Amino acid sequence: MSNRDVVHQFNEIADLLEIKGEESFRAVSYRRAARAIEDLTEDLADIAARNELQKIPGVGKGTADRIKEYLATGKIQLHEELTCSLPSGILELLRIPGLGPKKIAVLHAQLCVGSVEELRTAILDGRVAKLRGFGQKTADKLLEGIAFLDRSAGRTPLHVARPIACTLREQVAGLPGVERVEIAGSVRRGKEMIGDLDLLCVAADGPATTAAFTRLPLVRSVLAAGDTKASVLVENPIGGEIQADLRVVPAESFGAALQYFTGSKEHNVRLREIAVKRGWKLNEYGLFEGPVALAGPDEAGIYERLGLPLIPPELREDTGEIDLRDLPDLVDLPDLRGDLHMHTRASDGVCTIEEMALAARQRGYEYIAITDHSHSSVIANGLSVERLEKLIEEVRAANRQLAGSGIVVLAGTECDICPDGTLDYPDDVLAQLDWVVASIHAAQTQDCDRLTHRTLAAIGNPYVNCIGHPSGRLLGRREAMNIQWEKVFEAAAATGTALEISAAWLRLDLKDSHVRRAMDLGCTFVINTDAHAVDQLDQMIFGVQTARRGWATRSCILNTRPVEEVRAFVAAKRK
């Protein structure tokens, strides 16, 4: 175990030394030692005990001392110093094809690039091409390299994966002899990032069905095709491919197979244990007592025979769901009555107030809040106080127009939480609004204390009703901010400030595990789309699934309540 750690740390030391532009022989000596240790069949501690570290070919005095230091203290000071002196994302840059330590050193020194995301930005806005020794060609190549890295990370956001799964399901349903087809796997559980797609079907002719599956228009290449199973790669709209598996199962096993292939693996292990305790056997073909099938055709039957309620797929992660006597009253899409975060042309949206309102009405909502950006969000065309006051007038006028149409528009804002923790509008301006979302958009890399302070300061303001996308993460693109969540959740619960579960597909923020913890601490949530155009209102389902994965009940979601209760929630905090 310790051998592998030392190898890892030595390799990182070598990379970091090179990025810092140190003399290359130092880096070379750490790399050589790492390689030598990798080949050892004996524990370093044993060799050190015999005082024979320097007898390992490739290990010299310096590296031997570092090994001793590691064995004695569990860490290597030099490694810590180096990692502290450079941005934490810098080693990730080495994974980009065509990018070595020398170029990284230049990018860091000249452009302050310290992560893959920062490099992507610097390439896209042309700064990399202008660097001496780089040029447009190199910049383009690096961008390709980043796209490769994204793909080889191998996971696809749910929002991208699910439509592909749905298309495949429809196409399989249309194949001759197919009686039934369902999506299983992580897509069914609503996980935020998806490895591959899993489909199950019942069909008259297995081999003909798998063969036809491999010839569907989306399929780019075939990994395997047998009598009951086929695996293919289909085009992934965000680049590269995603794997899809189709299994043909007998009708009498369909429920068992759906249960099995929905997973998660951990959840399935627990179910199998329950079966075994009763002397039964559970697998993808059914629940059996000896040769007798106790359940199999439908999923509910499996759970029922095991003495469990039909656990919703989003909960199947072995995080306590097996021990539940009664299922929580999980929120669901039809429960939502409004969407309290969206943008119009006034800032960076593309639609008018009326367009957003009518589109929301079509989706069955009773109310929306228009929450355009505040003036510090310059790139997003944030509103000055004057423009905000004009927008409030427009919202009031729109409401008069929409009277009787069944939808109410609340005048709101997405007010920036400034780097010092103050809000972008003064209280007397916020007081004119029906609904205030406060979000961090700038200075997201501040230290934990400051970010926590900023969020708490916003929560402490009587006019702030909701913290928008509280962690600031972008799936696969930007890390969540480093915040003391317990403090934030406690303060939000104590002050009557809602926390957003952003349904925007790149955000899903708060994430599932945070939702669950915040709910335990008594928080109220709002599931919002942050739509910038009408079709983005349809992303609500992703927020709902995130909430469900966080065990959120209908009663803790503010926008399942009628508009009068939303107004009462706002009024209660202002009192």
Distances (CA, A) of 86 to 90, 115, 481: 7, 10, 18
User: Does 198 engage in binding with ligand DGT (CB under 6 A)?
Assistant: yes
User: Does 196 engage in binding with ligand DGT (CB under 6 A)?
Assistant: yes
Supply the minimum distance, in Å, between the C-beta of residue 340 and Zn ion: 11
Tell me which of Ca ion, Zn ion, ligand DGT, none is bound by residue 265, counting a contact when its beta carbon lies within the kind-specific cut-off of 5 to 8 angstroms.
Answer: ligand DGT
Q: What does the DSSP 8-state code read for residue 291?
A: T
The position carrying tokens 């190898």 is: 7
Distances (CA, A) of 19 to 80, 113, 114: 15, 12, 11
Supply the minimum distance, in Å, between the C-beta of residue 261 and ligand DGT: 4
User: Does 199 engage in binding with ligand DGT (CB under 6 A)?
Assistant: no
* Residue type at position 396: R
Nearer to Ca ion, 138 or 283 (CB): 283
Near ligand DGT by CB under 6 A: residue from 231, 253, 259, 268 = 268
- The one segment of 96-104, 263-271, 410-418, 515-523 that binds ligand DGT by CB under 6 A: 263-271
- The one segment of 174-182, 192-200, 285-293, 395-403 that binds ligand DGT by CB under 6 A: 192-200
Supply the minimum distance, in Å, between the C-beta of residue 272 and Ca ion: 19
Near Zn ion by CB under 5 A: residue from 196, 317, 414, 500 = 414
Query: Rule CB under 5 A: which of 501-560 touch Zn ion?
Result: 530
User: Does 419 engage in binding with ligand DGT (CB under 6 A)?
Assistant: no
Q: What angle do CA 283, 208, 296 make, to 5 degrees?
A: 20
Near ligand DGT by CB under 6 A: residue from 2, 264, 432, 484 = 264
User: Does 512 engage in binding with Ca ion (CB under 5 A)?
Assistant: no
- Encode burial over 332-365: b for 16+ CB neighbours within 10 A, e otherwise: eeebbbbbbbbbbebbebebebbebbbbbbeeeb
Nearer to ligand DGT, 190 or 470 (CB): 190
User: Does 261 engage in binding with ligand DGT (CB under 6 A)?
Assistant: yes
Judge contact between 397 and 386, C-beta under 8 A.
Answer: no
Cα 518 to Cα 503: distance, rounded to the nearest angstrom: 17
- The one segment of 37-45, 229-237, 406-414, 440-448 that binds Zn ion by CB under 5 A: 406-414
Helices (H), 313-426: 353-362, 385-401
Cα 324 to Cα 315: distance, rounded to the nearest angstrom: 11
Tell me which of Zn ion, ligand DGT, Ca ion, none is bound by residue 414, counting a contact when its beta carbon lies within the kind-specific cut-off of 5 to 8 angstroms.
Answer: Zn ion
User: Cα dihedral sign for 293, 298, 304, 306?
Assistant: positive
**Nearest alpha carbon to residue 3 among 60, 80, 70:** 70
User: Does 413 engage in binding with ligand DGT (CB under 6 A)?
Assistant: no
**Nearest alpha carbon to residue 162 among 200, 193, 134, 208:** 193
Q: Site mask, Ca ion, residues 178-217, x = CB under 5 A?
A: -------xx---------x-x-------------------
Which residues on neighbouring strands pair with residue 342, listed in sequence order? 531
- The one segment of 10-18, 191-199, 350-358, 408-416 that binds Zn ion by CB under 5 A: 408-416
* β 338-339/367-373 pair status: parallel
**CB half-sphere exposure, 264, CA atoms < 13 A:** 17
Supply the minimum distance, in Å, between the C-beta of residue 407 and ligand DGT: 38
Query: Rule CB under 6 A: which of 172-191 touch ligand DGT?
Result: 185-186, 191
Positions in the binding site for ligand DGT (CB under 6 A): 185-186, 191, 194-196, 198, 260-261, 263-265, 268-269
Q: Which residue ranges make up the site for Ca ion (CB under 5 A)?
A: 185-186, 196, 198, 245
- Residues forming contacts to Zn ion in the complex (CB under 5 A) are 414, 530
